[in-house]
Structure 1
Amino acid sequence: MLSNASARIFDVVVGLGSNVGQREQQLERAVSAIARLGAVLACSSVYETAPVGPPQPDFLNAAVRLHTTLEPHALLDHLLEIERAAGRERRERWGPRVLDLDVLWISGVVLATERLSVPHPELRRRAFALVPLLDVAPEALDPVTQQAYADMARALGTTGVRRVSFRLGDALGFP
């Protein structure tokens, strides 16, 4: 874990997705790598979902909640490096991905830069991201609207989001 006694601690939810290769193992390796960036508080169940975009295999999606002292852009840089180490190549928008890591939410933070928007700009419209987020942060509010993500998920519905038989943190010893 990275630490700095005087640094701010960010309460973060990272979304994970994979639809290429050994999807489960990609997610597990990603959680292990994310754990080096802070203290993992919770791991969601894993969900299988249809892809957005061109025809491709279904995704496995999950979320990890952690406390980190990394500033949002530094966190993004680390997540991009984890993706690269997993073999992620950015070729086609919404194309197949060996690993996709997104900063979904940071408690109390609103950020909009060229590189990073928090909360994730598509979060409130994507059940495949909202459902895992709610596993790890059921109390989370959209910091822009102050609306509960649980209310957004109920309004959106969860059709097409199927829980699979394992919980991401179980095999790794995380909550």
Structure 2
Amino acid sequence: MTAVRMGQGVEWALHVLLTLAWLGDDEPVTVAKLAAGHDLPSAYLNKQLQALARAGIVESTPGARGGFRLSRPASSITLMDVVAAIEGTQDAFRCTEIRQQGVGADLPRRTFDAPCAISASMRRAELAWRRELASQTIADIRAEVDVYSPEAKRVTRRAYGL
């Protein structure tokens, strides 16, 4: 069984998207500035931003005044969108039908006509997880942070020269 485990790229992407949501549409922000703002390596963060751009979550503006900005409202970017962009869309659990091996190998074939109960249970749990991620947006996170850390937006905007 594979555990649902996400790499740091998802966390980094979510923090950067929150930053971009606070900064608004003023100017695109360079990878170097975003990386410095979170004390992250630019090259790795750039890979995450490129994945977000391919998914239509951010847009990239080339050139000396280029950088990244949200390509759509924060209210339409779900956590599932971000996870899928960074981690891919492959199922976390993959049933290999081990019930048909070992002691199960001697059972009649009709025993396996019904779906594997373990696989079905894991699939239901994964779908619930995906639905929960799809129900939350970057705007929801921004609103929560604004309530519990109201100074975070002001400090972030000041750090980026706004």
Both structures adopt the same fold (TM-score exceeding 0.5): no
Higher helix share: 2
Structure with the higher strand share, 1 or 2: 1
